[in-house]
Amino acid sequence: MNSCPNCGGELLFDPGSGKLKCGFCESMFDPTEIGAGKGAEEETLTAEQAAYMGEGSAKEEHQGDGKEFDVTQYSCPQCGGSIYSTDESVTGFCSYCGASLVLNSRMSKMKMPEKIIPFRITKEQCKEKYRAHVGKFLFAPAEYKDPEYLERFRGIYMPYWVYNTGFNGPLVLPANRSHRQGDYIITENYHCVGQVESYYRGISYDASSSFDDHYSRQIAPFDAHTLVDFNTNYLSGYYADMQDVKPAVYKSEVLDFAKNQIYDSFIKEPEFRGVTMGDSAKNRVKPQLEAEGAVSAFFPVWFLSFRNRDRVAYAVVNGQTGKICGDIPIDKKRFILYALIFSVLSYLALLIVPAMTPKVLLVVASAIAIVCLSLLLSTLDKIVRRDKRLDDKGYLSLYNREQYSETVARQEKKKARKEQKPDPNAVAKKAETPGGRTIVTLIIIALSLLPNVIGYFSGTLETNLVFAAEAVIMLIVGLIAMAKSNYLPKKTMGIKAGIFIMLVVMIYNLFINMLMVAGDWYYYGGAFALMVSIILLQFMTVDQYNLLATRPLPQLNRKGGDDSAR
């Protein structure tokens, strides 16, 4: 803790000005020039830091340099999560599990990072941005907009690894150009040759296992240009999290990023216009981590947790750019209110649609049922992935080695598959989106509905055929969803029962359709039963959505021997 040279008041880092500010007389001081932060240890560090963006010393990684500084560790007796501070303060709540309690404090040491991006977004700005974000979500619970609660936003410096990579050397990539001449295909073979000098410095990945990659990915990017040498003065008034993920964990991501960039740029050279690169060309680009390949740094993050019984939701705001990642659960009362409003609107819209025969009604209801089932399935899938943190390499590398190697293997496989794609110019820029499967399903439904719509208005609808197809799709999606629900953290019977009811109704409908039972009441009955089961399913999906927007309470006893207590 620093005190003001003028009056002795407490100096805190002020994101607005980037200076240390006296809370009492409001004097401003440059954080690099004030006393306590500049220890003797740091003087020795600066030479090395100066080398950072440049050619670099021969050091491989800056692990275990041994430079440490004194901090107070505040740990939560409930979840074991710890935050660290250079100030002495009383903390009445835990940022990881949201519990309101006084955190245990003890003196500790923290490894000194080399770089830091100081906070630029003030708490007020952060709250304002977050309130606006919540305002856009129709079904947000009132608590999420409560200014008093938002006061709990805590500025935490998250440890990151900042990677520097590049590629210097010749590239020779095979390519060809072909055209047809009568019954022959003439292929001219070429080599795309060039000397490449490139670097990509400042690629960052979070280095704390307690900070889920889900959030770090979404609040990215941080601007590496604003990195400055670390100085404990920047921590005044803020907290920090402990670095515990090794830099090797994200090495392959970093190299892949560079590889894609270099390859994309190289094939766009004007000399190579008109030729097509061979399949394996991309793999010939082999970027390397630079001598000072991974640098430890602190990045500013505003952090807030909302506790709801045994689940917790996080609001995470990039302390440099203000980018928000915050999952908001659904408030059921508001959800029902809006559902009724939309229902009334839908009802009015449906008045224009001519009355449907019971069979057409069944076909339409089944299509909607498939959409709802797919939504449920995709929600379940996301919950399972998130609760087990299957997408969080940093966490897995520490607590779940088995799953970690599986994830790595899967990524390799995916990469291999992608590189086998025949068209190398169509560089797959974006990885599979998480909702990809749902979208595919929706397209299938849309396609199956198209003849319906045409058929309905031209009076030539093959209802039986479409309905049979729908029943099959529904059965498949339903069974997958039931299987998926086994991996949920809790309460799977409700979902299973709900899906089961729907499938039974569907089988009944399939039978009356196949047997061509006479009497519209059988069909109406089937359609109504199906629609009731859809409504049931939709309400179940709200619960699942809320599970998705929240997470299980963290178990972060990092210091203790029992790792992943799961």
Partner 1 sequence: MTVRDKCRTIAAILTALLIFSMLPVYSRAGDGDGSEEWTKSKESGNTLVYDDKYDVLDKKEKKALLKLMDELSIYGNVCFVTDSEPGIADESDADRKADAYYYERFEDEDGLLLLFDYDEGYTEEEHCMMWMVTYGALEKKIRPSKCNTILDNAYNNNSYHDWYGYAASSFQQAYDLLETGRLAEPMKYISNIFLALILGLLINFIIAMWSIRSRIPGDDEVLLGLFQSYKTSGVKLDYVGTTRTYSPQSSSSGGGRSGGGGGGGHSHSGGGHRA
Site membership for partner 1, residue 462 (CB under 8 A): yes
Q: Which of 202, 237, 247, 293 binds partner 1 (CB under 8 A)?
A: 202
Span 309-328, contacts to partner 1 by CB under 8 A: 323, 325, 327-328
Site membership for Zn ion, residue 4 (CB under 5 A): yes
Contact (CB, 8 A) for 556 and 210: yes
Output the smallest distance, CB 103 to Zn ion, in A.
Answer: 8
Structure tokens at 407: 């994830």
138 binds, among partner 1, Zn ion, none (CB under 5 to 8 A by kind): partner 1
Span 62-121, contacts to Zn ion by CB under 5 A: 76, 78-79, 81, 94, 96-97, 99
x-or-dash string of contact with partner 1, 387-426, rule CB under 8 A = ----------------------------------------
Non-local (6+) Cβ contacts of 123 within 8 A are 153, 155, 302
Site membership for partner 1, residue 368 (CB under 8 A): yes
Structure tokens at 147: 């200014």
Structure tokens at 167: 């590629």
Site membership for partner 1, residue 356 (CB under 8 A): yes
**For partner 1, which stretch binds (CB under 8 A), given 58-66, 215-223, 481-489, 505-513?**
215-223
Site membership for Zn ion, residue 7 (CB under 5 A): yes
Residue with smaller CB distance to Zn ion, 103 or 112? 103
Output the smallest distance, CB 25 to partner 1, in A.
Answer: 37
Helix 493-514, helix 520-549: angle, nearest 10: 160
Indicate the burial class of 2 (C-beta count within 10 angstroms; 0-12, 13-18, 19 or more).
buried
Indicate the burial class of 534 (C-beta count within 10 angstroms; 0-12, 13-18, 19 or more).
buried
Cα 451 from Cα 470, distance rounded (Å) = 13
Q: How many CB atoms lie within 10 A of CB 337?
A: 13
Span 23-52, contacts to partner 1 by CB under 8 A: none
- Up-side HSE of residue 20: CA atoms within 13 Å toward CB? 26
Residue with smaller CB distance to partner 1, 275 or 482? 275
476 binds, among Zn ion, partner 1, none (CB under 5 to 8 A by kind): none
81 binds, among Zn ion, partner 1, none (CB under 5 to 8 A by kind): Zn ion
C-alpha 386, offset from chain centre: 9
x-or-dash string of contact with Zn ion, 34-53, rule CB under 5 A = --------------------
- Please name which of 61, 68, 92 lies closest in space to residue 232, comparing C-alpha atoms: 68
Residue with smaller CB distance to Zn ion, 152 or 484? 152
Q: Which of 6, 89, 178, 288 binds Zn ion (CB under 5 A)?
A: 6
Cα 310 from Cα 101, distance rounded (Å) = 16
Q: Please state, in angstroms and as integers, the Cα–Cα distance from residue 72 to each residue in 65, 110, 155, 231, 237, following that order.
A: 21, 9, 16, 16, 13
Cα 156 from Cα 341, distance rounded (Å) = 41
Q: Which of 104, 338, 416, 428 binds partner 1 (CB under 8 A)?
A: 338
79 binds, among partner 1, Zn ion, none (CB under 5 to 8 A by kind): Zn ion
Site membership for partner 1, residue 375 (CB under 8 A): yes
Span 123-182, contacts to partner 1 by CB under 8 A: 136-139, 175, 180-182
Q: Which of 257, 384, 444, 480 binds partner 1 (CB under 8 A)?
A: 257
Q: Which of 26, 194, 446, 566 binds partner 1 (CB under 8 A)?
A: 194
Site membership for Zn ion, residue 549 (CB under 5 A): no
Contact (CB, 8 A) for 12 and 47: no
Contact (CB, 8 A) for 301 and 320: no
Cα 54 from Cα 62, distance rounded (Å) = 16
Output the smallest distance, CB 10 to partner 1, in A.
Answer: 33
Span 264-303, contacts to partner 1 by CB under 8 A: 265-266, 269, 271-272, 275
Site membership for partner 1, residue 335 (CB under 8 A): yes
Span 18-37, contacts to Zn ion by CB under 5 A: 22, 24-25, 27
Q: CA angle 35-40-41, nearest 5°?
A: 120
Q: Is the peptide bond before 489 cis (omega within 30 degrees of 0)?
A: no
Helix 436-458, helix 358-387: angle, nearest 10: 170
Tally: H helices and E strands in the chain: 13, 16
Span 492-551, contacts to partner 1 by CB under 8 A: 516-520, 524, 527-528, 531-532, 534-535, 538-539, 541, 545, 548-549
Task: For strands 239-240 and 154-181, give the pairing.
Answer: parallel
7 binds, among Zn ion, partner 1, none (CB under 5 to 8 A by kind): Zn ion
DSSP reduced 3-state for 192 = strand
Site membership for partner 1, residue 453 (CB under 8 A): no
Question: Under the rule (CB under 5 A), what is the footprint of Zn ion?
Answer: 4, 6-7, 9, 22, 24-25, 27, 76, 78-79, 81, 94, 96-97, 99
